Amino acid sequence: MGGKELNIGIPRALSYFDYFPMWQTFFNHLGFKITISSPTTKDILNKGVSLCVDDACLPVKIFHGHVADLVGKVDAIFVPRLISVSPGEFICPKFIGLPEMIKNSIKNLPPLLIFNYNLHKDTEDKKNAFYDLGRQLGLSSRSIEKAYKEAISRQYIYEVMLESGQNPLAILHPKEKWDKLDSCKGVIGIIAHSYLVCDRYISMDIVRKIRNKGYDVRVVGNVSQKKIEDNLKAMPKRLFWSYGKKLLGSGMEWLKGNEVDGIIFLSSFACGIDSFIEELIQRFNARKLKLPYAVFTVDEHSGQAGFDTRLEAFLDMLEWRDKSGYNFSSHGQDVYSGKSSF
């Protein structure tokens, strides 16, 4: 496989929302054309559901739909195999087996560019992953090295922008319009994987809906890795699921002080890691700040109306607490006196 005229397709799903700046820079620096799959729609979702195994979670089904969306439009499709993104840790097994799932589920595929990303033993293996990808494209070591350095630099800038509190959707897709809040009623922290909260179809466009109600939003990516690691030192055992660590460490950060006024835990149905992380966050919240807290679970059957009703009720509760002088918690207890609110 080779030739600078090659059109490489990148599925707009899963790790796209964490690493797209790095991948885009790598391919662009080498002169390749990139085509991103369309934003998630009902048709892409239904296609993914029909192609994927039944017991897969919603994001993996969505990924299948995005790959199918690229078939016939590109010369090759980029499929990352994320095994580990940090030494001594792992990613969900579905991520590891993603290339094989795609090969066995979708017909008439163009060649797949498989990106084997495994930092379990050494972070230096990051470079090896890019070199392997470059060799699949028939490139020289010199050109790969230059593209790799540019890609790592761009990824660093992206992560710094996130940690400064910027909206990942606005960074990834700068052409989309995001109005500034004239006045901010408060801040909502959304504990969710990037591939949920940043996919506007799966998440029911929750970030924009919250902002339209006058609240600013913080996502997991806005919390630095150092803060996450520092918070997790309080845990009796080390967590070895990287994505689960990010959710828990971010939630613990928000429960330390006045950074957010309420927390929403957004998860996909059948995600085992999310289920116990959510339980831990809920327990920590009950012991500490007792912030307004809501859990939203999505799957391929989730309805817009029910989701919107629950979200509006949650935001209405925040406004009510604000008007009441923060005397009432979301658990029905008077925060200051400890007496029942009912």
> Do 126 and 198 belong to one domain?
no
pLDDT of residue 342: 25
Report the length, in residues, of the chain.
Answer: 342
Find, among 150, 181, 154, the residue nearest to 165 by Cα. 181
The Cα 38–Cα 9 span in angstroms is 11
Give the mean model confidence (pLDDT) for residues 309-325: 83
Domain boundary among the residues 107, 136, 163 is at 163
Same domain, 25 and 118: yes
Q: Which CATH number is 145's domain given?
A: 3.40.50.11890
Residue 229 lies in a domain: yes
Decide if pLDDT at 333 tops 80. Answer: no
**Residues 101 and 223 occupy one common structural domain:** no
The pLDDT of residue 120: 67
How much is the pTM? 0.89
Tell whether 103 is covered by a domain. Answer: yes
CA distances from 247 to 173, 204, 251, 327 (A): 23, 20, 6, 28
What's the burial of 88, exposed, middle or buried (CB within 10 Å: 0-12/13-18/19+)? Answer: exposed
Residues 6+ apart with CB under 8 A from 285: 255, 263, 291, 293
Residue range of the domain that includes 282: 168-323
| Banded model confidence at residue 336, pLDDT cuts 50, 70, 90 | very low
Question: In the predicted model, what is the mean pLDDT of residues 313-326?
Answer: 78
For residues 195 and 294, state if they share a domain.
yes
Closest CA to 117 of 151, 69, 143, 153: 151
Query: Is residue 303 located within the same domain as residue 203?
Result: yes
pLDDT at 110 over 70: yes
Q: At which of 132, 163, 194 does a domain end?
A: 163
Question: Is 100 part of a structural domain of the chain?
Answer: yes
Per-residue confidence (pLDDT) for residue 328, from 0 to 100: 47
Q: 18 and 78: one domain?
A: yes
**Tokens 């790969």 belong to residue:** 144
- Predicted pLDDT at 324: 66
Q: How far apart are CA 259 and CA 253, in angstroms?
A: 9
Q: What is the domain count for the chain?
A: 2
